[in-house]
Structure 1
Amino acid sequence: LMVRETRELLAAGARVPIFEATFEHDGILVRVDVLIPDGEGWRVVEVKASTSVKDYHVLDCAIQDWVLRHEGIKVTSVLLAHINNQFVYPGGGDYSGLLVEEDMTSAIRSVEPRVEDLIAKARAAVSGPEPNVAVGTHCNKPYDCQFVNHCWPMDAEYPVIGLRGSKKKLGEYVAAGYRDIRDVRDEAITAATQRRIHRVTCEGEPEILDGARDALAALAYPRSFLDFETIGPAIPIWPGTQPYKSVPVQWSCHIDDGTGDGSVGSLRHEEFLDLSGKAPMRELAEALIAGLGDSGPVLTYTSYEQGVINCLIELFPDLEGPLHNIIGRLFDLYPVVKENYYHPAMLGSWSIKAVVPTIAPELDYADLDGINEGTAASNGFLEAIDPGTDLVRKAELEEQLLRYCRFDTEAMVAIVNFFTN
């Protein structure tokens, strides 16, 4: 349908920009992001969400150029437009400067012989039997392959991919016939982290060292457990923000003043979430400063929260003092957990989502309805502030966002209690 519509537009003599112009030649279908009249010919503009030109963009553009020219379209130039990550949105809908255009014409014409070879290989892959290609680093370059779970052996109790580390090395294990972590010979593993994963998995029991208990028991009160949720859209929403730069929009904090038994139910809970659509960062920062007070450790899981607070300092220099006070009190649980704990079910990951189900089975992110991970939270926030979202859906998203962020801080409380009780 789109091919026919494009042909009809061109046949009618259209000399206006055409978005998603679609062409097909010899079974190869391409969609041009923008086709712009240029003298007696057409300028092709391919738009990418990346912040620079990548090697694989050259062949991408070259295939489009090849199809169009074989279909009789006079292509005067091929440009690649990508995000300018130095762009600062001034507001008022002024996005001039958001995209940078790079002329790819010479580069793509120089690789034209490779295009037909690539097309021939693609045809062979589609029409022939399943390709017999060993797994390895190429499974994730330039993108994660959609067939990773098909090609990598995932049917074992502890799949060998759970050793993590170098994909090249993991591919060698698979090529050698190993499917389960426990099958790999001791002498085949050289990296310290992988040896630890292998040893604990073979032993079949979690490793719990005293260092975590000692470090966490020494923390003073009040203890604040903090988690942020952020968005980083390619197209900034609020003045002063940049493409892809993380902007905090929500936080949750459980506060243990030391007077209770340390359970989540005995802790005070503070949170912030504004779904009005207006820039929330100032109110978020002020609420954070008020909620965390000026004393006691602020526990996080990874150093991400420090980066978020630094972002707030950049946005609001007048709040630098109290925000720096919070940074000075940050205590990262991640290195403490990684150094002192491993459970075979974590499959080589010390992410909070991998750790918590092994120490508090009742806290499993998979059990959360709707939003249960960071990208979903970011997308959920953007959907919630969209004027087109109805009130019922907005209320549903608000409940899910609050629950998910609160779940993260509850998980941190569970981690501390696990090691200290």
Structure 2
Amino acid sequence: MYLSKSDFKLARSCPTKLYYHKLGYPSVQAGSEFLELLAEGGYIVEAIAKLRFPDGVRVQAEADPEAANAETLALLNRTDSITLFEATLLCDRVVARADILVKRGRRIDLIKVKARSFDPTEYQKRIAEGKSSLFSLAAWRDTLEDVAFQAHLLRSHFPDFEIRAFLMLPDKTKPSAIDQLHRQFQVRRIPVDAGFSQIQVEFLGDEAALSAASFLTQKIDITAEVEATLPTVRAGIQQYTALLWPSLQRAEPALSISCRDCEYWVEDEAPLNGFRHCWGDLADVSPHLLDLYRVGSLGDRANELIQHGKVSLYDVTPDLLVKKDGSMSAYTDRQLRQLHHTREDTEWVSAELADILDSFDYPLHFIDMETCAPAIPCYSGMRPYETIAFQWSCHTLTAPNAEPQHECWLCTEDEFPNFAFAESLMQHLGSTGTPFMWSKHENTVLREVLEQMTRRSYDNPALRDWLGHTVKLNGVDRGRLVDLCQLTEKHYLHPQMRGSTSIKVVVEAIWRTNPVLRDRFPEYVRYDETGRLLSPYKALPTQSIHGAAIAVTEGPSAVRAYRAMVHHTEGPCDPATRDQWKDLLLQYCQLDTAAMVMIWWHWAGLLRGKARRG
């Protein structure tokens, strides 16, 4: 029962979670494809950083913290000059693994490698303006506490040494000169012991070329920031270790609106549900206070209700939505409508929505894009975390009563796709009609493609002109793209949306209550074993790949499928397997744009009914 860095980070968000983690309660983050993608990028960034230290020695006994700590101390005490990788530091059952330790005499440099985007120009600008360090900002708290946690253990073993702390980060201003860099790394998970595996990253390319084209920062000194953070970290260690020894204890939960984001809030059928364990009978209240739209805007007023056991949505009275100065937030109107229409179990459409929908020129294009932003620049000229746009889908309505026409584009080759992506979309959409998106992602992607054209000197005047007229470039320029999510927030509410405007939530709400949509899209009609109607996303077919049933129902799984198809990250990819990944991507992205058509038709039906009644 050790307290690790990850344990500390978890407990900092909520000490009660430490109990659930140690007892293996199910978490929505377990098996998260998004987190796995981030982790893989982190391992590769770390491997690149370690190539700068060719004399580095890796600590081998990783599975056993005590053995690894003993090996680490033996190596550090053996000589005045050594560089260690994966050094394990253990003291009083508090354990951490350091990416890189460099010992020179009686000084030890602790180097944390983190796959987090960093802009050195912003950093230098703050320094020049005499502002506090970028790393002292709240956004860097977790990183500083991570390093301070390691520094605390290092000082426990070497109290008389000078300990300096550094970061190495991907520099998002540095383009890579290496093409298909991702293919030069082999990431393997090697089982070492029961419940433990070791991640090994092997670089197969030219180390000199990688060093010359490195996109990582040099060491950034954060010693002062870590020193300032150490008292907080030491107090946290003392608090959390008391929950582990002499026996595991559950910290008394502090119920608040923050609990709505708890990773231990899992499906009700799960035998161990951390959220339910904390909230008890209050978890069963429906509709729930935590379902309120933008509940965080209530702050302490909502937390006071929770402390008094008032967690029904109907415990939120209109006066609580008014600020202390008598003003209302930007969310108050929608919150009031949610309270009313949830109580009445009715939908709401604004008086303006009909005219707004009528103002859009046909053809109507409903578009969705799939993208990724890897820490490792995959292609020459790319920067860390630069967008790769690998797929688009579009459903088009040429007239109010027309059947939707579907077109799509998918990159199936291992090459920089963005300009071909944008050119194909331009050819399909043209300059007439109205293109719709859900939220701002599509606008952001096309705006970045326009910026990439300048950075890469890509010559296509027609594409540049089209992008310039299509995307919203600043707060004044409206562009052509219309945000359906924004229209939903301002003009539509369904009681089953529970305060969310996610397209998946909106579609599921109308799917369950509008049989006309099910008649028009029968391919998405499926029921579970209890006879309950599934949402269209849960109705998407799976593919059996390498013996596993694979589904693509969200963005991270789409990125996984794309990488498996193009980069072969999931193993051998023969033509048949390649087609399976391709089919998964096509059907998922197609549903995203079909979902927008469903919402449009649902609104049109509501407005026709409203006109007849009015």
Deviation at 1:100, TM superposition (A): 5.0
- In the aligned structure 1, how far is the partner of 2:216 from the partner of 2:68? 30
1:112 positional shift = 4.0
Separation in 2, partners of 1:99, 1:407: 41
- Match in the other structure for 1:175: 307
Residue identity opposite 2:538 in structure 1: A
Whichever residue aligns with residue 359 of structure 1, its letter is I
Amino acid at match of 2:240: A
Match of 2:290 in 1: 161
Aligned AA (2:437): T
2:506 is aligned, of 351, 355, 371, to: 355
Amino acid at match of 2:370: E
Does 2:385 correspond to 1:244?
yes
Match for residue 70 of structure 2? 7
Q: 2:141 aligns with which of 36, 55, 59?
A: 55
Distance 1:171 1:394 in 2: 51
TM-aligned CA deviation for residue 251 of structure 1: 0.4
| Structure 1 equivalent of residue 480 of structure 2 | 329
TM-fit CA distance, 1:113:
4.2
Alignment correspondent of 1:28: 94
Q: Is the 8 A contact 1:222 1:295 kept in 2?
A: yes
Would you say 1:310 and 2:447 are equivalent positions?
yes
**Whole-angstrom CA distance in 2 between matches of 1:213 and 1:360:** 21
- Call closer, same or farther: CA 1:34–1:145 in 2, change over 3 Å: farther
Match of 1:287 among 413, 424, 432: 424
CA distance in 1, matches of 2:560, 2:370: 11
Equivalent residue runs for 1:368-407 within 5 Å? 368=540, 369=542, 370-388=551-569, 389-391=571-573, 393-407=577-591
Deviations 1:249-272 (CA, angstroms, capped at 9, x unpaired):
1100112222x843xxx3322111
CA distance in 2, matches of 1:373, 1:107: 38
Q: 2:24 maps to which residue? A: none
**Counterpart mapping for 1:141-220 below 5 A:** 145-147=262-264, 150=275, 151=278, 153-167=282-296, 168=299, 169-190=301-322, 191-220=332-361
Q: Which residue of the partner structure matches residue 98 of structure 1?
A: 216
Structure 1 pair 238–135 and aligned structure 2 pair: CA distance change class (3 A): farther
User: For 1:271-309, what per-residue CA distance to the aligned partner results, in whole angstroms no more than 9, with x for missing partners?
Assistant: 111132211112111111111123111121223212211
SS at match of 1:135: coil
What SS does the aligned partner of 1:288 have?
A: helix
- Amino acid of the structure 1 residue aligned with 2:364: R
Q: Sequence identity of aligned pairs in percent?
A: 27
**Deviation of 1:353 (Å):** 1.3
2: CA distance between counterparts of 1:192 and 1:256?
A: 32
- Quote how far apart the aligned CAs of 1:412 are: 0.8
Determine the structure 2 residue equivalent to 1:342: 493
1:200: Cα distance to partner? 1.3
Identify the residue that residue 42 of structure 2 maps to in structure 1: none
C-alpha deviation, 1:411, in angstroms:
0.6
- CA gap of 1:206–1:166, structure 2 versus 1, over 3 A, is closer
| Alignment check: 8 A CA contact 1:247 1:311 kept | no
* Whole-angstrom CA distance in 1 between matches of 2:177 and 2:259: 40
Partner of residue 599, structure 2: 415
1:313–1:320 Cα contact (<8 Å) kept? yes
Matched residue type, 1:66: H
Cα deviations by residue, 1:206-263 (Å, 9 ceiling, x for unpaired): 21334333322343222211111111112221233333343321100112222x843x
Distance in 1 between residues matched to 2:373 and 2:382, nearest whole Å: 9
User: 3-state DSSP class of the match of 2:164?
Assistant: strand
Tell me the equivalent position of 1:131. Answer: 251
In the alignment, what sits opposite 1:89? Answer: 176
Q: Unpaired runs of 5+ in structure 2? A: 1-60, 119-134, 182-209, 267-274, 323-331, 455-459, 472-478, 513-524, 526-534, 543-550, 606-614
Q: TM-score under structure 1 normalisation?
A: 0.87
2:151 equivalent among 36, 42, 65 = 65
Aligned residues: 414
SS in 2 for 1:276: coil
CA distance in 2, matches of 1:6, 1:128: 24
Determine the C-alpha separation between the residues in 1 that align with 2:594 and 2:370. 15
Aligned to 2:536: 364
Q: Does 1:122 align with 2:204?
A: no
Q: Distance in 2 between matches of 1:374 and 1:87?
A: 27
Partner SS for 1:360 = helix
Contact 1:38–1:76, Cα closer than 8 Å, also in 2: no
**Normalised by the size of structure 2, how large is the TM-score?**
0.62
Q: Deviations over 1:298-333 (max 9, x none)?
A: 121223212211111112253211223433432222
Retained in 2: the 8 A contact 1:84–1:98? yes
Q: CA deviation at 1:67?
A: 1.4
> Contact conserved, 2:368 with 2:437, CA < 8 A, in 1?
yes
Q: Is the 8 A contact 2:365 2:434 kept in 1?
A: yes
1:230 — aligned with what?
371
Q: Output the CA distance in 1 between the equivalents of 2:417 and 2:283.
A: 43
Answer yes or no: is the 8 Å Cα contact 2:144–2:225 preserved in 1: yes
SS at match of 2:309: coil
Pairwise CA distance, 1:351: 1.8
